[in-house]
Structure 1
C-alpha cells in the first residue's frame, strides 16, 4: 500500500445523508491484514527462526534416514495413480504396489545395463583423447602443468609418515577402493530404505489422510486437510509427469543430434541429457560442460568440438524457455530467485538428490502456505510473476 502524504486542512461542508461514505484506510488495512496476517510479536520471529534452524540441523545430521523417506514420499505421489489403476483392474493393492515398484526397478536396471557398454567404451577412449584435449586447451597448458605440480607435491607430502619438524603422523585413508566401497554401501542402504518405505506408503493409500481427518475437531479443518492433500498430489504428480515427459523428449532430441553430428553412442548421451534435466538450471549447465568435453575428446577441429555442446544447449533452450514453462505455468508460479536458492541449498544439504527434490518441496511448501491463513504471507512471497 503506497503511503500518501497528508494534505493541508481546509474547511469543508459536513457530509449529507445522501453523500457516499468516504473510504476508510483503517478498514482497507484491516482487510489486507485479515487476508495475509503477519505476526507482530518479535518473540514469534525469534522462536520461529530457532525452530527452523534446529529443524534444518536435524535434517542435515539425520540425512541418511530422512532423505530416503522424503524420496519415498515424492515417488508415492507419482506412483499412486498407477497403483489405483491396477487396483481398478481388480488387482490387490499390495500386489499392485509391488508390480509398480518392480517395473521402476526393472527400468532402472535395464538402463544401467544398456549404458554400461558405451560408458566403458568412452573410458577406454579417454587416454587416447587426452592429447587432442591438450591441443584444444593449449592456452591453459601452463596453469594445468602448475596444478599438476601442486598435486604431485601434495601427494609426496602425504607419502611421508612424519613431517619435518613435527611429530604428528599423517594418516592415510582407506584409498580409492575403500571410498568406493563405502559410497556404494551408502547408496544401496538408501535405495533399500526408499523402496521399503515407498512400498508401505503405496499399500497404505489414504490411511494417513483418513486418520488426520478423524483427529481434527472442526469440519472446516477436515475439509482444509483434504483439500491440501489432494492439491499436493495433483500438482506435484502433474509436475513430475510433465517433467519426465519433457526430459524424455530432450533425451531423444539430444541422442538424435549427437548421432547426426558424429559423436557416437547416442543412447549414452540421450540418457545423460534425460537424467541431468531433472536438476533445473544446474543440470543443463553441467551437461553443457560434459558435451563440450566429449566434443574436444572426439574431434580434431575446434568448431566440430564445440558443436555437441551448442546443439545440446540449443535443445535445452527450446525446452526450458518455451515448452516446459508453457505447460507448467498454470500450476507452478514460483519465484525464480527462490528456486535457485533452493537448488543451491538442498544440493549442499543432500547432494544431487536434494537438487532433484528442491522444486517439488518448494511447490509443496507453497501449496500448504496458500491454504493456511497464518502462512498466506509466506505463500505470497514464494509466488512468481
Structure 2
C-alpha cells in the first residue's frame, strides 16, 4: 500500500485534451483560470502559479528583497526548501524549535530567535495543520518582520476559519503528487499586497514588465527588462489538470479528514504513540497523518517501519530536522541538541498511508500491522 495516491479520473484527461486542442500549452488562459479559482478559494487578492513550492518560496524571498546580512527564522523541522529559500537570496537561516505535539514552529522559540537582523520568518503549516498564527502575527508586528507562509501541505487549510496563505505577507503552496491536489509538479504564490504581487509577477517571467512606450497590441511590442528574473512560469497543461483537481477539492479534503478521524478512533487505545494534536482555531487537512512513538527511541521506530514494509505498507518519517542536514550543520556549526524537539520529531515520527478513497479495510490493515509491529518490537 502506497503512502498516498493522487485522485485522477476522466475529467483530468478531458481538460488536458481541451488544452492540447487549443494549441496553447505554455502559461496562458488556463493558467489564469486556475489562478483565479485558487485565489477565490483562499480568499487572497493575488495568486500566481509557478513551477513548484520551492520556486514559490524562492520568489517570496526575492520579492521581499532579502539580502546578505539579513536573517530569516525557519522551523528546525520542515522540508529543506523552507530554509533554502533564504539561502537563495543570500540571507542567513536561523532555526527555531517546534512544538513537539503539533510539529509546527513554537511561537516562544520564534520570538527568542529574533535579532536586529531578522527580516522574515517562514511559518510552515506542516502536514496540513495551521500554525499558531495569532501569536505569530503579533510577534511579527511587534518586531516588524515579514511572514512567508509555507503552505506546501496546506491547500484548503484554515486558521480561525480563514484560509492560510493570505494571513502573512506571502503564501506558498505545492501541487506535488503527495499534496492535497496535484498537477504533477507545480506551486502557487499568494499575497494581498499589490506591490509584492507585481514583483512576484516580474520575477517569475525573466524580469519582464510592461513597456509603457509601446502599445501592447502592436506586432513589434516587447516588454521591458529592468530586473533580473527567472523562468518559473507554469504551463497550461499543468493548469488543465489543476482545474480538474480544484473541482474535486472539497471531496478530496473531506476524504482525508474522514480518514484521519477513523485513524484517531482506531489508534486511541495504543498507549505508546501520539496521534495528531490540533490546537484551538487551527484547521487540519491531513496532507499527512503523522504519529510519534513515545518509547524505544529511533531504533524501535525504524524497526516498526520495517515491520510495516514487510506487510507491504509504505511509511516514512515526518520530515527533516533541517539543522542536522550537512549543508546547514557545516555552514553554521550546528549541533543536534540545539533543537531537541525537531530531532525527536524526525527520529520518532511515522507517516501512515492516507489518501482519498482509502477504504475502512485498508485503514484497519495499517492499524493491525502497526499494532503487531509495536508488540514485536516492544520498548525495553
Fold shared by both chains (TM-score > 0.5): no
Larger Rg: 1
**Structure with higher strand content:** 2
Task: Calculate the TM-score normalised by the size of structure 1.
Answer: 0.22
Task: Calculate the TM-score normalised by the size of structure 2.
Answer: 0.22
Structure possessing the higher relative contact order (Cα contacts under 8 Å, 6 or more residues apart): 2
**Structure with higher helix content:** 1
